[in-house]
Chain A
Amino acid sequence: MRPSTAQIIQFLLAAVVVVALGGLAGWYFFVNKHIEQTQSTDDARGFGQSASFAQGIGSTYQNIVDGITGAFGASSPTNNTEGAPAPRIWHVSKNPVAGMGFAASSTDLYFAERSTGNILLATPRTSLVQRLSNTLLPKVYEAQFAESGAAILRRIADDGSIITFAGTLATSSAQQETAGENAPSALNGTYLAQNILAIGSDTDGKGITYLVKNPAGGSVAATASWTGSSQKKLFESPLENWRLYVLRDGRMYIAQKASDDIPGSAFKVATDGSLSTLVSSMPGLTILPRASSTALIYGQSSGGTLALFARVSEDAATVRLPIRTTADKCVWAPGMDLIAYCAVPQSAGSDAFLRDWYRGALHTADSWWSVNVSAGTAEQIYVPTEDSLDVHQPTIDGGGEYIAFINGLDQSLWMLRIAK
């Protein structure tokens, strides 16, 4: 019996329905499989997780920390329990930092990451490190801070010129409002003139003093507001190799950059730009002027030997201190007594100490000494037991409790509590 046309049509329709259902089932399983794959890929990439912005430690920070463990050791930024007071010697950041400065009337320390230019705040009372800014300024080579937290960040442009950014932390932002008051904020600021050779700021972060390369040769020193406006020329010099010292009390000094056995001179800069001699023609001269007094510590590098000298006032006789180091490794204690703290290398290690130390070819292992400049005596106060510390850029808080410094070996940040 031959099937009727109607039966054939019904059979064909049933076959189409079966094929369609099979196709849909296949498509479902095919798509579902890809969804699982996509989800697993997304999970691996971190999609769907809460963004790290507005957290204390951001993703950039974590990525960098994770990425450099091989080069700079463990990834943890601190070596102690957060919340507890920091140990006497505190490894604040194992990652390279660009510079630091204490907050006003506090032992809290602002510092800038070298990799991101982010500003962080370290609190030794609680061992906490908090990220304050999330504005990315990569590869910051030098950072300075006013006591207000205003920061000067210095970088190198592709053409080799020096870029200087002066910024302040935004007081509030929409991001902070949604993420909480401890969320990082933007670092707002302005780019100052190119090729600033040396710069210093006042304590409240409102004014700067700087030396900039003069296109006609030499350099020009000037003061300006934090944004670079209201410029006032101090002096012109046919030389460029100057270091600038701006003290808390507003006084300014300049010194020729030092080199072993090469005479150097240092000058006090008056507000009218005139220079009066502070130290004249001293081989390998490094200086450390003191705020609120005319006391001075200065170092000499001559004949392969380091020597340190001090005078309690401008007119006083110079005394030779019983430690061998450079003034770059010293910091004056605040207060009435003429006390300084100096990191002293266990051995100089080179006949051209300054030249090799400045170019990173020489690293020292230092111990800390307390120097009574009035008495001309020195006493050892701290000897590192585990880590080798090559002290650079020491700075002290206003109360004289902590010294912060960068370890020249890896540019990591350390704090030493002076009292045992």
Chain B
Amino acid sequence: MKRIALLLATALIATPFAASAQLGFRDTSNALSISISPSYPAPFELVTLKLTSPVHDLERSDIVWSSGGKVIAEGEGLVKTTVTAGAMNTSMTIMADVGNGVASAETVIAPTAIELLWEADTYVPPFYLGRSLPSAGASVRLMAIPRFLKDGKPVPANQIRFTWMRNDGILVDQSGRGRTSAVVAAPYLYSADIISVQAETVDGTISGEARVRIPSVEPVISLYGDHPVFGTMYFNALGGSTPIAESEMSFIAEPYFVPANSARSSGLTYDWRVNNVSVAAGADRPNALTIDASNSSGYAFIELVVEHLTNFFLSAEGKWGITFTKGGGGTDMTDPFSGR
């Protein structure tokens, strides 16, 4: 018992001195670090290297930057330099020497590439050649394609850990091993989100990052003639003032980028007005409207508001002036909808 007490007392007395010794006499040659920007350089990207140290007075030290034995840059207080990253899946070791061997540090630049692709799940008409863009209340689908090579072979996705982030906040439920895709909520109206993905092989030897800025857009309503023979004339969205050489015409409204899988989605409401008179939307085709102007002045001012039953952020509207120039009622200047 006495021996144990003696050992404890000795340990307690000796500890401060040991700690002091570590602080006072430790090897400072490695008290250096090199940071690189960007953290995950792409192939042939310009990389900025910065040397920092809590111990050494770098501003007054001679610093030599080298790679593969060749000097890249040197000078007193040269704490920053730049280098161009190599090709994809190559590595470049950069060394910084301070005070002619007093201290040194090294880092490896191994550029990788990750393709980060995205699209929204919003509605666009069939055969539309443009991208579906996100609007408030929609979702965004993302897909990451890492270009990691190991021993000359692509690293399979199930050997890579993916960490998805929105505005630098980790999306835990979307992240994990082999999770090459993600679905996130679209940004709020008039805002944009930064979505990024970090990928790292499970053995930690290769890593990379990609990020995209995803803006939210307002849905756009286009109005098209719906011809009995040619169908919806998607090639000609009607403008604010359009003459039409008919006395009767059907129209189709296409709400681009609304969060729905169809223009006739039950979640969408169509509020039509023609010459300031409300027109009930059809049950089967609420985005369609037919105007017969044969006994009228031939001018129809069409207004449409599209809203969503549950998504209160969605409200898109359009206005079009249509002049029917083939009407039989040229002398009767009554409004075609005034009698409703």
Contact = CB atoms under 8 A, between A and B. Distances in A.
Contact of A264 (B126, B128, B131, B245): B131
B129 A265 contact: no
Contacts of A138: 229, 231
B286 to A, nearest CB: 13
Contacts of B236: 360, 409-410
Main secondary structure of the interface of A (DSSP, over half): mixed
Interface residues of B, number: 44
Contacts of A281: 115-116, 212
Contacts of A230: none
B245 A262 contact: no
B130 A160 contact: no
Interface string A256-276: 111100111100000000010
Contact of B143 (A237, A358, A361): A237
Contact of A239 (B128, B143, B229): B143
Interface in B227-246: 227, 229-237, 239, 245-246
A120 to B, nearest CB: 16
Interface in A116-164: 138-139, 141-142, 154, 156, 160, 162
B234 A259 contact: no
B51 to A, nearest CB: 31
B141 A239 contact: yes
A243 B237 CA distance: 22
A160 B129 contact: no
Interface in A47-65: 64
Nearest to A115: B229
A119 B262 CA distance: 31
A239 B222 contact: no
B326 to A, nearest CB: 6
A275 B264 CA distance: 36
A256 B117 contact: yes
A359 B239 CA distance: 12
A384 interface: no
Nearest to A264: B131
A355 interface: yes
21 contacts: A70-B246, A96-B235, A115-B230, A139-B231, A141-B127, A141-B234, A154-B127, A156-B231, A218-B181, A237-B143, A238-B143, A238-B181, A256-B117, A259-B131, A265-B115, A280-B113, A281-B115, A355-B130, A359-B256, A361-B222, A361-B239
6 cross-chain pairs, A with B, having the tightest CB-CB distances, nearest first: A139-B231, A238-B181, A259-B131, A361-B237, A70-B245, A358-B130
Interface of B: 113, 115-119, 126-133, 141-143, 145, 147, 180-181, 212, 220, 222, 224, 227, 229-237, 239, 245-246, 254, 256, 262-264, 326
